[in-house]
Amino acid sequence: MLEEYFKWKTSRKDFIENTNNVISELKGKNVLIYGETGGFTKLNKLYKIKNNTNIVCFCPSKKSKNIPFWYGIRNIKLKNIAKEKFDTILITSVMGRNAAYDILDALKKDNIDIKILFNENIVDSNINMEYLLKHNIESSIKRLEKISLNKKVLFYGSGLFFKLVNEYFDLSGINVIGVVDKHFSQVHKIKDVCGYKLYSPDDIIELNPDYIIVTTKRVIPIFEELYSKYLKNSDIKILPLLKKNIFSLLFE
């Protein structure tokens, strides 16, 4: 299980409120639980799911051990899920979207009431979130705020990784004048991303920022491309969003 992500996510106010609301909605219904046994144990301690819902059975995710009974609840295999009678499936796995696909594939139908606790808006965002937490994203943002104080900043990279950072972390302390994306020519009809104006790399020199902060996982190729094509004769500095040692940067 993604331990750091699980710990971070379950401590968030929005997650706590949503989980309490979901449990309230499940009262009076027959519930099938799908997820990792370890994760459900922790969630059950926090929210007393077993006491507050009528759990008919527990289906361990693919990564969990399959045992006949657990927590006094009958366990079933995913391949047998279609034989069970239930009103709702509650997915407690941190890989919520992937788990839902597994269930729908096993049931061979999609008109099922499924509730997902870890239901991110961005596919695979839980993996990216674990990566951000591993590299101490909040500390990196504070560092960038100090470095870029009273300076103009461009973010480079408008993909899923950037959108996840923007959704869950506060970037307001950085004076961002826009976001640059090398695929601007293909998405030129989109004028902004996450509230920031979107630019082409060809606009960098005219915009003349003090810093470019690379908001992607892999930064070395972008550093090299930006320097060789645009910044060789300028005073614009390039920084990675995350502060990592040189070995981490080279091997990603």
Residue 70 has what pLDDT?
Answer: 63
CATH 3.40.50.720 holds for 136-250: yes
Residue 149 has what pLDDT?
Answer: 94
* Residue 223 dihedral angles phi and psi, to the nearest 5°: -55, -50
Taking the chain (252 residues) in consecutive chunks of 10 residues, what is each chunk's mean pLDDT? 75 89 93 90 90 91 62 85 92 84 81 84 65 89 94 92 88 95 65 88 95 91 90 93 64 50
Residue 123 has what pLDDT?
Answer: 45
Residue 43 has what pLDDT?
Answer: 92
Residue 191 has what pLDDT?
Answer: 78
Class for the domain spanning 3-119: alpha beta
Whole-model pTM: value is 0.59
Residue 250 has what pLDDT?
Answer: 47
